[in-house]
Copies of this chain bind each other. A is one copy, B any other.
Amino acid sequence: MSKKRVVIAGMGFGGLRAAKALAGDEFELIMIDRNNYHLFQPLLYQVATAGLEQEAIAYPLRALVRRWRGASFLLAEITGIDLAGKFVLTDSGTVPYDYLVIAAGSHTNFFGIKSVAEHAFDLKRLDQAEDLRNHILLLFEQASRESDPVRRSALLTFVIVGGGPTGVEFAGALRELIVYVLSQDHPDIAPSETRVLLVEAANSLLSAMPVDLQQYACRKLRIMGVEVLLENRVVGATAESVELYGGTVIASHTLVWSAGVAAADVAGFLSGVEHGAGGRVAVQADLSLKAHPEVFVVGDMAYFLEKGVPLPMMAPVAIQQGNYVARNILAREQGTSTHPFHYFDKGSMATIGRSSAVAVAAGVRFRGYSAWVAWLLLHLYYLIGFRNRLVVMMNWTYAYLFQERQVRLITAKKRRADSL
């Protein structure tokens, strides 16, 4: 009897874990991704702020697949899923499956604000991060030779939307890039001439955190020189301005949007299934589709309620769901079953800047240096590949000791040709 085939659509955190756990003699395993690498998204903001080279946070998928028995990789864009016929359609051909794990992640949600979608940078892909880095560095070069003070000020004003971990981490890292590096590179630009604004619709940053850590993060950012605007939101943008609710217009050439994500387009290819908020796909207690027990959805794409609340769209959820689905498939093949999926919340964390972070783990709150060291170690641990860990550690050590970021290269001069 030939082996059953498991197809895994998307090799982010969820897909990768499922694949790793399913590799072996049991199944024929086909992994599909539009990129030939796994991307460590939580550090994308450091690529955008010239702290890391893009290669350090990406790992070639075929280097993993090589080591996994029964596994193969297909570089392809998924264009459809036929649940009845049990096959995945891609731009590189049709792939039939016995089991399907859909782990295609999410894309940025601009909530229908067209002008923002057109002009904002977002941080989901590697090329976007490199693009944003090029853009920031180029603005400083332009500001250096700009004599009109109004235009110069607009070039040096950066608006970030979204007070979640990504927004907080990016704002802190950008401020440090400006204060420690770019204002040294450009002696004619004082840090006080630059503005970094962080706009959040709610009345606090890091809404998932305990109140005292939220306040700590906000205070720290303000001390660093970030202007935190709470209970405020961006309603429009042009290439050279950002409009806030209420009509205030900020002259700025840079809008970074990290205010929300929605399920990847693949979710829309599933006909006859129920969709939750953000286009996420409603799943059963075992993460399978209602009418298709052989199809699972994990990670950002899955709409799964725990105690009546949908699980957040973040890496730890995807990792646990990927592992769970692999166990579930193995159990089914052995004629047994698994308990319903349960998310074990190990806590969350966000770094604010040099020696400063907030973290909650098992109900215990950390902040400052200890939280920062924990953040560094945990991110190194979750990075894939010895070489990448080494490169990242080296960059961090170098940055810590010398307050330097050597990856401040403008690698393309054309402005973000395909970032949207």
- Give chain A interface residues in 139-159, CB to chain B under 8 Å: 141, 145
Q: Which of A10-18, A59-67, A172-180, A356-364 contacts B (4 or more CB under 8 A)?
A: A59-67
Complex Cα spacing A406 to B60, Å: 7
B-chain residues with CB within 8 Å of residue A408 when the two chains form the complex: 36, 60, 62-63
Instruction: Choose among A36, A414, A418 the residue with the greatest number of B CB atoms under 10 Å from its CB.
Output: A36
A412 near B: Cβ within 8 Å?
yes
A53 near B: Cβ within 8 Å?
yes
With beta carbons under 8 angstroms apart, the residue of B184, B387, B412 that contacts A398 is B387
Given contacts A141-B75, A184-B66, A404-B63, is CB(A55)–CB(B409) below 8 Å? yes
Instruction: Map CB proximity to B onto A30-51 as digits: 1 under 8 Å, 0 otherwise.
Output: 0000111100000000000000
Instruction: Map CB proximity to B onto A386-420 as digits: 1 under 8 Å, 0 otherwise.
Output: 01101100110010000010111111111001100
B-chain residues with CB within 8 Å of residue A54 when the two chains form the complex: 53, 409, 411
B-chain residues with CB within 8 Å of residue A36 when the two chains form the complex: 137, 141, 408-410
Nearest residue (CB) in B for A410 is B36
Q: How big is the A interface, by class?
A: 35 or more
- Give chain A interface residues in 339-384, CB to chain B under 8 Å: none
Given known contacts A36-B409, A387-B406, what 15 new A-B pairs fall within 8 Å (CB)? Answer: A35-B410, A36-B137, A36-B410, A37-B409, A53-B56, A55-B55, A60-B409, A62-B185, A63-B404, A65-B185, A66-B184, A92-B145, A93-B145, A391-B391, A394-B394
Which residues of A are in contact with B by a Cβ distance under 8 Å? 34-37, 53-56, 58-60, 62-63, 65-66, 74-75, 92-93, 126-127, 130, 137-138, 141, 145, 184-186, 385, 387-388, 390-391, 394-395, 398, 404, 406-414, 417-418
> Would you list 11 pairs from A and B whose C-beta atoms are within 8 A, ordered by A residue?
A35-B409, A35-B410, A36-B137, A36-B410, A54-B409, A55-B406, A63-B406, A65-B185, A126-B411, A130-B411, A414-B418
